[in-house]
């Protein structure tokens, strides 16, 4: 019985340690597939910062330029614009990047992205304490869906 309690304590300790190291959790990352002549696409994911922070920048070896965009209504036209200061991540809240909303814009693509590929992304997140962490991930490519609510991708 003693041994079992010890194991539980060790497990709890390692959990809280990894949470302290990684302030920002990324889940459900994916990239929209492209057709051969297409030079830009979007990457989507959910971000959750334990203590709050800001997604400052994103880079990928497969894209010459990567920006963080938002979609917003301008009159009755949906437009997208880069977020010059990055994307605010309120503490403990899940921020969703999705088609028609916030997205990571991959531009100047070096190759077509097809279903089954994966796209390396490096996310730089600045915490409330000013510390920066870089999160490396590989986002799977999903095929161009029938529903594409982001028609303004004309960089």
Interface residue list for Cu ion (CB under 5 A): 69, 80, 105
* Smallest distance from Cu ion to CB 127, Å: 25
* Smallest distance from Cu ion to CB 43, Å: 10
CA distances from 13 to 20, 39, 46, 90 (A): 11, 46, 26, 26
* Smallest distance from Cu ion to CB 135, Å: 20
Q: What angle do CA 133, 103, 39 make, to 5 degrees?
A: 105
Give the residue with the Cβ less far from Cu ion, 105 or 127: 105
DSSP class of 8: H
Using only C-alpha atoms, the chain has a radius of gyration, in whole angstroms, of 18
* Smallest distance from Cu ion to CB 66, Å: 10
Give the residue with the Cβ less far from Cu ion, 45 or 105: 105
Rounded Cα gap, residues 127 and 9, in angstroms? 28
**Rounded to an integer, what is the distance from CA 69 to the centroid of its chain?**
11
């Amino acid at each position: 019985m003693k041994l079992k309690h010890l194991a539980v304590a060790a497990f709890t300790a390692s959990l809280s340690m990894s949470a302290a190291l990684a302030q920002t959790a990324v889940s459900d990352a994916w990239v929209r597939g492209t057709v051969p002549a297409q030079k830009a696409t979007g990457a989507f994911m959910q971000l959750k910062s334990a203590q709050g922070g800001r997604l400052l920048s994103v880079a990928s070896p497969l894209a010459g330029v990567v920006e963080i965009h938002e979609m917003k209504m301008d009159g009755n036209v949906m437009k997208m614009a880069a977020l010059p200061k990055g994307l605010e991540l309120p503490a403990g809240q899940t921020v969703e990047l999705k088609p028609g909303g916030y997205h990571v814009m991959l531009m100047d693509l070096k190759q077509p992205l097809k279903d089954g590929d994966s796209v390396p992304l490096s996310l730089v997140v600045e915490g409330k304490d000013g510390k920066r962490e870089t999160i490396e991930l590989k986002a799977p490519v999903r095929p161009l869906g029938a529903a594409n609510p982001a028609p303004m991708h004309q960089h």
